[in-house]
Structure 1
Amino acid sequence: MRLLLLTALLLVVCVPGFAEDAKGDGDSDVKTGCVVVELTGDLPLRAQSFLFGDEGMSLHTATMRLRQALQGHERQVVLDLSHGFSAGAAACEELAATLRERTAGDKKVVCILDDLTDAGLILAAACDEVVLAEAGMAQVDGVALESWYGAEMLGKIGIVAHAVTSGPYKSAPEIFTRNDPSPEAAIELKQLAEGIDTALIRLAMSDNKRLDVAGLTAARAKSPQTSAIAVASHLVDRKQDPGEFRVRLPKPVRELDGHHEMPDLSSFAGLMTFWGNLMKGEDDSHGGPVVAVVELAGDIMPGETSQPGETICDGDTVAMLDKLVDEDRVVAVVLRLDTGGGDAGASDRIHRAVRRLDQKKPVIALFDQVCASGGYYIGCAAREIYVHRTTITASIGVFAVIPDVSGTTNLLGVHRHVTATGPRADLFGMSAWNEDKATAIRQIIDDVDQRFQGLVAERRKLTADQVKALAGGRVCTGDQAIERKLADGISHLIACVRKAREAANHKEPLPIERYPKHQGLAARLGLVGSSLGPNGALTRLPGIPNRLVAMATRLAQGKPNILAQSCAFGPVR
């Protein structure tokens, strides 16, 4: 226990909430020196939770840290991305939008990178000067969507996966049922890749004084490039060793450290507060009115306890949203989503909770990297939907995958006997695939799909025929979603916060309060419920692939899923 407590003392930190108009430090009338903002990792919407804290930096923290630097007194802002920065295109869009909110000529923004990617070029376009590490590389080469198929592998152990889908473009189960994409899936993947690439080029050209489309096309043909070639190709302004770059920064230099604070252990009250935060989670509530930013990321599934960044469970998510209905301090809500979907029933329950909340106070949805299928099911409950240009969204449709393991049992010499009291009592058992099973599942899939399409038509004010033409599992980018009236516009967090509070008739900026709240040690150890069944405490320890365990469990049950294949690609970089 002493060792555990000592570890907690070193790792548990309290991070204060941010305001919509976060203020910088010092006298804003005196502009000297520079402030350095170091961003690392892939900047997920929600950092993954481990025993004593979150692992890595979240997109929210990175955005607010950058805003604070821009509002400081320094003449120059240095964006240091030379230490393992690997954020995807949507995250770079968010950061670039933050940079473009600054007053023209107010500050110079210099960016230094160790590696430059297509996503990084989005952020570079918003900077006044871009420096590539002398030993760095530029890999600006376009979009490649990679899919893996395992039907042959499953067949080698006697398993045959059968899929029932709501349309030919609902291709998520093809990774189990085929060894290559279907013709419809191939067409959809090509259109999606082209749509993302168009968005990447458009974003890279925005305010870019170094590069034009012809130059970018030529640079892609030479990828990968050393720093010297990247300078000659006008991808960056110059090359320099990061250490030398730091030494030559204008003085004084202020490092933005994220404002981590050690807990107060000098008094009994401080000790009790620390112990409460450790076991139950931190309370960063503000006294006055706030805009709640609800961040939901991961696979959607039934269960009582979500794991932020990994799973979105209907139990605690619905409870949180219902609590916000009666929370008088919360005047409006921004619902941020980064999910490729999951369980149909859980998606529906969360959708209904969002609608109950929106009836009491305005809910504005912001889609991040991916918000497709079950994610769109939830998001369309908001009164307005905003996206990034490279967001992957839509995929309106449903599927179920049922594995037939009779070949495996025959191979192993295992014989099964069933005593049933009804003709369909063993319908979803381990029996071989048959027409009766296919008919029953088709009925469920069609019913859920019609409900999904009906909700989209109602919430987006489209006709049934319009939604039907967009459904069947078709995916699209953020720009395409706006064209198809599935989204209302391109935006970013602070703009959405502004829209939400204005919809609630609040003209002045308000503090932002993030949800779900930081979980305590008890929840991290799985002592207060689980999203993965009775063995959740084990399956949620670091290193165990939670989403694979959960998905395998659901596929074996043959339940309807609303999941997009695009969620398997990972962020576009």
Structure 2
Amino acid sequence: MAQFFKFVFASMLGTFLTLVIASILFVSIIVGIVNSASKEKNVQVSDDSILMLDFDYDIPERSPIDPFSDYNYNDFQSKNTVGLNDILSGIKKAKEDPKILGIYINTSSVGGGFATTEEIRNALLDFKLSKKFIVAYSEFYTQKGYYVASVADKIYLNPAGDIEFKGFGTQIMFLKGALDKLEIEPQVIKVGTYKSAVEPFVLDKMSDANRLQTASFLGSMYNHFLLKISNERGINADSLRVIANKLLIQRAEDAVKFKLADGLKYKDEVMADLKSRTNVKPEDDLKVITLKKYKSAETEIKDDLPTDRIAVVYATGEIISGEGDDNTIGSERISKAIRDVREDKKVKAIVFRVNSPGGSALASDVIWREVELARKVKPVVVSMGDYAASGGYYISCAATKIYADPNTITGSIGVFGIIPNAQKFFNNKLGVTFDGVKTGEYADMGTISRPLTESERAILQQQVNNTYGTFTKKVAEGRKKTALGVDSIGQGRVWSGIEALEIGLVDKLGGISDAIADAAKLANIKSYRTVSYPSQKSILESFFGNVSDDIQTSIMKKELGEEYKIYKQIRKISQLNGVQARLPFEISVN
């Protein structure tokens, strides 16, 4: 009995200590968030200030409004996340702000795709029209970081630093060998010669078709990259290609020699340069303001805000059925947002911002329907981000007009389904067997405990064929093409934004600002304000809804590092359900 009470007491003590630790953790988080939020209130911009830009973080489409999504649970600090929307508006505001004398780019990379990088770079090019200076400095530039920095009047590099300039490459992880060892058979049903989403499961290297399409869109993106750097740095594009092909930038001195950088400086020397540009005495401090603070700076509030509105509906992430969240396109949430702005008489046009690799074909069709209905009432202009592929293109194709960035990855008009057969894995590896009773021949169709029968495979193939037919038909209607014409550029093939323009999948090249301006023109309005949809998660929704997931994700990222992307991809694969219209894999261009 004494041993029993000792055990009970130990359990109670453990529970008590757990609650105490959890309470301390909760209070620490709240205090940290409050302190962080209070620092952003009543921000004042001093005269003769410099706006500092840093993009070394994952850039979302919109700045999060709840502090929990912007919180690092490893060190209880804010991540200082600024969304693309506020990056672009902040640079535009700084262009007209007399208190901002110039911009200091202090970043190694850009935490987004090349389309996101393109939009930031274009905003900086527009800023230069003000004749204000831009100075860039880093200890190390990745290719995306250098692409942004290439617009600067002066590019400085640490004397011991480096510039990554080696050309573009992308790599795919193939799981066939691992599945073979586990005796798991991926049963694939697809339509599309280029629909390579299934290749990692059934091959151990890229198919010829996939290699062809990847080389094509990667080459298109790279040519654009070289051309734009050539324009700003005054270096022939062919010379830049040679520099990359021969990896001629191996030391900091090489970057200056080949004119990719203007000088080698330590941080204190760069600060001295900035002081000279702003007439600050050497002994005084620079007046530098971060973009995070600058976006919260007080601005003159206009009482006569325009009545007419352009609604910007953000659709970011994978496409799923249901509600979704700020990082997932839920068919219910996004279709409701489009329906709301369609019925709002104050909204004269809609800009549909799509940044998605695709997902559920059914959920995509639900959203497509709302875009189709909205287009009949008012202009709908799609603005494509880093991705608008497969399901991402499905939900875009009904729009009045489609904009893509040159480096947007789009197309991938094709569908597939995968049902793993894990019978041998269960039997031979785990010693697990299955048996059961069913009331009809197809009652257990789709189970992973046995292979598909021929009739089941034929049924699933017909479903996939029907979905592809529906997909191509709707693209044909939206883009005013024939179904055969769409099929010839479909078949799951992925295109860059430049290629998509050439084959008629998009109408113009440009970013979200261009799409908004065109939407206003189509709606025949000159004075308007933009409003964002759907509403973002509140503080309470974030904390009580997903804070545990955020903590888990934060810990996994810290422990796995670069391998976190592999873990995330495998987890996505395991959650596939139904016919899919999505990119073959997470395309990361390095």
2:494 is matched with which residue? 475
1:511 is matched with which residue? 529
Find the partner of 1:95 among 95, 120, 126: 120
Counting only pairs closer than 5 Å after superposition, residues 212-231 of structure 1 correspond to structure 2 as 212-220=236-244, 221-231=246-256
Quote the offset at 1:25 in angstroms. 7.2
Quote the offset at 1:413 in angstroms. 2.1
Quote the offset at 1:46 in angstroms. 4.5
The reply to whether residue 161 of structure 1 matches residue 186 of structure 2 is yes
1:443 is matched with which residue? 462
2:398 is matched with which residue? 381
Find the partner of 1:108 among 116, 130, 133: 133
1:279 is matched with which residue? none
Relative to structure 1, the CA distance from residue 121 to residue 82 in structure 2 (aligned partners, 3 Å threshold; closer, same or farther) is closer
Q: Where do 5+ consecutive residues of structure 2 fail to align?
A: 1-22, 71-78, 281-285, 297-304, 557-566
Q: Which moved more, 1:440-449 or 1:536-545?
A: 536-545
The one-letter code matched in structure 2 to 1:138 is I
Larger radius of gyration: 2
Aligned mates of 2:386, 2:39 — CA distance in 1: 27
1:57 is matched with which residue? 82
> Normalised by the size of structure 2, how large is the TM-score?
0.81
Find the partner of 2:144 among 119, 123, 126: 119
The reply to whether residue 80 of structure 1 matches residue 105 of structure 2 is yes
The reply to whether residue 211 of structure 1 matches residue 235 of structure 2 is yes
The reply to whether residue 563 of structure 1 matches residue 588 of structure 2 is no
Aligned mates of 1:254, 1:291 — CA distance in 2: 36
Quote the offset at 1:441 in angstroms. 0.9
User: Contact 2:109 / 2:143 at 8 angstroms: preserved in 1?
Assistant: no
Counting only pairs closer than 5 Å after superposition, residues 471-550 of structure 1 correspond to structure 2 as 471-508=490-527, 510-525=528-543, 527=545, 542-543=552-553, 549=571
The one-letter code matched in structure 2 to 1:63 is L
Quote the offset at 1:233 in angstroms. 0.9
1:553 is matched with which residue? 575
Q: Where do 5+ consecutive residues of structure 1 fail to align?
A: 17-23, 264-285, 528-535
Aligned mates of 1:75, 1:526 — CA distance in 2: 40
Cα root mean square deviation, aligned: 3.0
Aligned mates of 1:196, 1:103 — CA distance in 2: 24
User: Contact 1:12 / 1:262 at 8 angstroms: preserved in 2?
Assistant: no
Counting only pairs closer than 5 Å after superposition, residues 96-495 of structure 1 correspond to structure 2 as 96-102=121-127, 104=129, 106-205=131-230, 207-220=231-244, 221-249=246-274, 250-251=277-278, 253-258=286-291, 260=293, 288-306=307-325, 308-309=326-327, 311-411=328-428, 412-430=430-448, 431-495=450-514
The one-letter code matched in structure 2 to 1:256 is I
The one-letter code matched in structure 2 to 1:89 is F
Aligned mates of 1:76, 1:51 — CA distance in 2: 30
Aligned mates of 1:231, 1:396 — CA distance in 2: 44
Aligned residues: 523
Relative to structure 1, the CA distance from residue 195 to residue 232 in structure 2 (aligned partners, 3 Å threshold; closer, same or farther) is same
The reply to whether residue 67 of structure 1 matches residue 92 of structure 2 is yes
User: Contact 1:318 / 1:353 at 8 angstroms: preserved in 2?
Assistant: yes
Aligned mates of 2:542, 2:483 — CA distance in 1: 44
Aligned mates of 2:535, 2:425 — CA distance in 1: 45
Relative to structure 1, the CA distance from residue 243 to residue 313 in structure 2 (aligned partners, 3 Å threshold; closer, same or farther) is farther
Q: Deviations over 1:309-337 (max 9, x none)?
A: 3x211121222222222334433222112
The reply to whether residue 41 of structure 1 matches residue 62 of structure 2 is no
Quote the offset at 1:546 in angstroms. 7.1
State the secondary structure of the residue aligned to 1:208.
helix
User: Contact 1:398 / 1:561 at 8 angstroms: preserved in 2?
Assistant: yes
User: Contact 2:108 / 2:140 at 8 angstroms: preserved in 1?
Assistant: no
The one-letter code matched in structure 2 to 1:425 is A
State the secondary structure of the residue aligned to 1:399.
strand
State the secondary structure of the residue aligned to 2:371.
helix
Quote the offset at 1:37 in angstroms. 3.7
User: Contact 1:12 / 1:53 at 8 angstroms: preserved in 2?
Assistant: no
